[in-house]
Amino acid sequence: MAAAAMSQYVCDWGDCATCCTMQSLAPITCQMDGCDIPVHHVCQIGFEASINYEPPRCSTNCRAHHEGYCNMMKNKNKQGAASSAIITRTKQHKISSPALTTHTAANSSQMSGLTSDSSSAVSSECDSE
């Protein structure tokens, strides 16, 4: 008799660097009213641990409704805008600065845990709240 095929479930945290770790478990939906995005609480906890975030309450949320994730994305966008402004000014004044390279590299490595395609979409959702 053939073995039954196991279902693969990927929750919203699957697009994050910590990934979805519970793919054999059916996810629940985000606990924000009106949101039906599938999430695993364990995957959310893995993300929180990866950024040393202590949530203010115990709830299971998608990335767009997770306070820590949204704050991180807003900071990433601010840092990116600041880095772009510095680079633009540097190009205008034709100044080469090793500090600029170090600063930009630090910002990039700080946020390297995110996938670029999914983080921009969630970031815009976070901004709308």
Instruction: Please count the structural domains in the chain.
Output: 1
Q: Is the pTM of this model over 0.75?
A: no
What stretches of 19-66 show up as alpha helix (H) in DSSP?
41-50
Q: Report yes or no on 56 lying in a domain.
A: yes
pLDDT over threshold 60, residue 53 = yes
Q: Report yes or no on 3 lying in a domain.
A: no
Mean pLDDT of 11-35: 89
The answer to whether the beta carbons of residues 42 and 21 sit under 8 Å apart is yes
Q: Report yes or no on 17 lying in a domain.
A: yes
Give the domain extent around 51: 12-127
Arithmetic mean of pLDDT over the chain: 74
pLDDT over threshold 80, residue 44 = yes
pLDDT at position 11 is 92
Q: Report yes or no on 6 lying in a domain.
A: no
pLDDT band at 6 (very low <50, low <70, confident <90, very high): low
Q: Report yes or no on 4 lying in a domain.
A: no
What is the distance in angstroms between the CA of the first residue and the CA of the last residue of the chain?
52
Q: Report yes or no on 7 lying in a domain.
A: no
**Closest listed residue to residue 108, CA positions, set 69, 70, 71, 82:** 82
